[in-house]
Amino acid sequence: MIKILKPGDLTAAGRSVLAAPPELTAAVAEIIENVIKRGDAAVREYTEKWDGCAINSFEVTADEIDCAMEAAGPEFIGIMQRASRNIENFHRNQIRQGFIMSPGSGVVLGQRILPLGRVGVYIPGGTAPLASCVLMSCIPARLAGVGEIIISTPPAKNGSVDPGVLAAAKIAGADRVFKAGGAQAIAAMAFGTETIPRVDKITGAGNSYVAEAKRQVFGAVGIDMIAGPSDILVIADGNADPRLVAADMLSQCEHGADSIAVLITDSETLAGNVSAQIETQLKQLPREGIARRSVDTHGKIIITASIDEAFQISNELAPEHLEIFLDEPFSHLDKVSNAGSVFLGKHTPEAVGDYFAGPNNTLPTSGTARFSSPLSVDDFVKKSSFTYYTADALAKDGADIIGFAEKEALMAHGQSVQKRVRGENE
C-alpha cells in the first residue's frame, strides 16, 4: 500500500543512498583486479558463473546482427528508426563549436572541442533489455564524432543477445558489440582485455555491481554518472485524472523493486483516489510483483497546502523524472530548479521521453539532479584550451605574472617569465 504523508513527514520520503555496502565494494574490487590480471579468462569465468553461459567468442558477429534485424521485425525496426530521428534531431542542437579570441595585441586564446576516441556503452540484460538506452547513448556519441563506439551487454544462457538491442546498435551506429555483463564488463572496458578494447569513457546503467564497478574504475576511465534506482515525481491538483496519475507512477515502479514513485498534490481527494487506482492497476501488470514491492517500500503521496509548496518539495527531492500534471504547465516551469527531465501537461507521460520524443532517457537519479544533467553530446567530447603570446605581449603582462608567482612562493614559475622578459642573464 502506498504511503500518504504530510510535508512534515518529508524525511520519510527519503532518497536512495549511493554508497555501496562494504561487502559489495570488496566483491567488485576483487572482480576488477581479477579482470586486470587475467583478462578474457576472468570475464569468461564470471560470464559462465553469473549468466550461465559458456562464451567462446565475446564479440557479436555481423551475421548475428543481421539475424537480429530480421528477428526484431519490420514494425519494431520502423519504430526505432523513427525514434532515432527524433533523438538525433534533439541532440544535434547540443553540438558545440570551439572558439578563438584575441583579447589584446599579440595574444591569441581559444578552446577546442574534441571527440573522445573510444566509448563503451553498457546495456543491461535481464527481464527487460533496454534497446532504447542503446539509441540514447550511441546517437549522441556518434553526433559528437567519437572514433569508436562499443557496446557490452550480458548474453542469455544460450549465448545470444536480445535482438532488439542488436538491432538498435546497428540503427544507432555502434561499431562493435560484446557479450559481457556485470562488473566484469565494466572492468574489461576500463582496462582492456585481449578481446575487449579499453575505452576512454563508460556510459549506461546497470545493477548495483555495475554501479559500484563504475565508481571504482573512475579515474582510470571517465563515466557518465552513478545511476541509482529510477524515480518519478508527479505534481498534480484536484483536476487531475487519478487513473492517469497512477499509471504514470507505476510506469517507474515496474523498473525494479527499488524504484521510487512520488505524487505531490494539494488535494486529499486526489491522493485517496490515486492510492486506490494504484492498487487496482497493480493487479493488471505482468510485472506486478516487482511493481508492488516498489510501491510498498518506496511509494509516497505527499499532501501539501498549495501547489507552490509542491514545487518547493520537488526541488528538494530533485527527481529524475518530473511530471507537471497541471493545466497551463508552462506557467509552472520556471518554478523547477532541480529535475533530470520535465514532462509538461496531462498528455505527456514519462514514457514519451523514455522511448520517442528525443530528449535523453539517461538521467541523474537519487537527487543528483541538484548538480548533474542528462546524458548529452557534451558527455562524449573533451575541451582543450590553447594560448599564444608574442614577445611584446609577454613583456606587457610579465610583471603581473611574476608578481602572482612570487605571491604563491613558486619562484621557478616567475623565473620562466622573467628570463624571457628581462633577459637571459638577469
The answer, yes or no, to whether residue 421 has pLDDT greater than 80, is: yes
Out of 254, 255, 298, 320, the active site residue is: 320
Confidence (pLDDT) at 424:
53
298 catalytically annotated: no
Do the strands 260-265 and 231-236 form a parallel or antiparallel pair, or are they unpaired? parallel
In CATH, what class is 22-223?
alpha beta
Average pLDDT, the chain: 94
Does 206 or 193 have the greater pLDDT score?
193
Nearest to 131 by CA among 63, 90, 83: 83
**End-to-end alpha carbon distance in the chain:** 81
| Residue pLDDT, tens place only, 247-271 | 999 999 998 899 999 999 999 999 9
Which pTM value belongs to this model?
Answer: 0.92
Rounded average pLDDT over 280-288: 94
Domains 3-16+229-358 and 22-223 share a fold: yes
| Residue pLDDT, tens place only, 127-139 | 667 899 999 999 9
Out of 254, 321, 323, 350, the active site residue is: 321
45 catalytically annotated: no
The answer, yes or no, to whether residue 389 has pLDDT greater than 70, is: yes
Domain 3-16+229-358 fold is: Rossmann fold (3.40.50)
| Residue pLDDT, tens place only, 5-58 | 877 666 544 444 456 789 999 999 999 999 999 999 999 999 999 999 999 899
Rounded average pLDDT over 68-79: 96
User: Where are the domains positioned within the chain?
Assistant: 3-16+229-358, 22-223, 395-421
DSSP string, 150-197: EEEEPPPTTS---HHHHHHHHHHT-SEEEE--HHHHHHHHHH--SSSP
Confidence (pLDDT) at 94:
98
Nearest to 262 by CA among 200, 207, 323, 353: 323
